[in-house]
Amino acid sequence: MALTSFIPRETTLRVIGGSFLANFGVPTAGKYDFTNYVNAGGVKLNSIVDLGLSLKPNYLYFFHQFNFSLSIDEGVFLKAIDPGTVPTLTIRDSPARRPVFNAPIRLFRYFENAAIDFFYQNQNNKGSLQADIECILTQPAELIGIGTVYAQVSLSVYEITNDTFIRTGKTPDMARFQRIYGKEIFVPKR
């Protein structure tokens, strides 16, 4: 039985996402650089994307699933990862730019409906959810002639407004979950 069956019924599912791009040789010669793309004014572009979810004060968000892929085959992606680097994705709460998860997500393969199952409570005023990618790729033979590589990220996030659940982390279904799985569920407070 999935953990989502134990969150309050009046919860709203939000499927959110964003795209990143890296042009070959810009700004790093001989690389597809998602990380360091800056405009003429020195403003970092592209590596930070708004995911299209407005965070509301004191709402609880349950991050359920995560998807990640590029516009190239997964094997080519793995082959092209710049030696000595680890591609990562950080989900942030803006305007504070505080990471939502305890650590960045390591992008060591493509992910499809990967379980995250993480609670996050927005304690700021209104904000939005942003993704920040750090990824540098080389150009193996399979990418010769490919000028731009795109990265796509999506998440399924439940927006919880039930005051009792937010305050205590408990619903009537939680007792059933504990009987079935024998474990306590808690909602981390930040």
Residue 4 lies in a domain: no
How many other CB atoms sit within 10 Å of the CB of residue 87? 23
Over the chain, what is the mean pLDDT?
83
Residue 186 lies in a domain: no
Q: What's the mean pLDDT in 16-39?
A: 85
**Which of 87, 92, 110, 111 lies closest to 102 in space, CA to CA?**
92
43 contacts 126 by C-beta, under 8 angstroms: no
User: The domain containing residue 120 runs over which residues?
Assistant: 11-181
- The three-point CA angle 40-46-48 to 5° equals 120
Give residue 76's pLDDT. 98
Helix (H) or strand (E) holding 79: helix 74-80
Decide if pLDDT at 126 tops 70.
yes
Give residue 170's pLDDT. 60
Decide if pLDDT at 187 tops 60.
no
Condensed to tens digits (0 to 9), the pLDDT of residues 38-51 reads 555 665 655 688 89
Decide if pLDDT at 145 tops 90.
yes
Distance CA 14, CA 76 (A): 31
Residue 6 lies in a domain: no
DSSP letters, 118-150, are: EEEE--SSSEEEEEEEE-EE---GGGTT--EEE
Please, what's the b/e burial string for 134-151 (b: 16 or more CB within 10 A of its CB; e: otherwise)? bbbbebeeebeeeeebeb
Number of domains in the chain: 1
- The three-point CA angle 15-87-109 to 5° equals 65
Give residue 7's pLDDT. 79
Local confidence band at 98 (pLDDT 50, 70, 90 cut-offs): confident
Give residue 190's pLDDT. 38
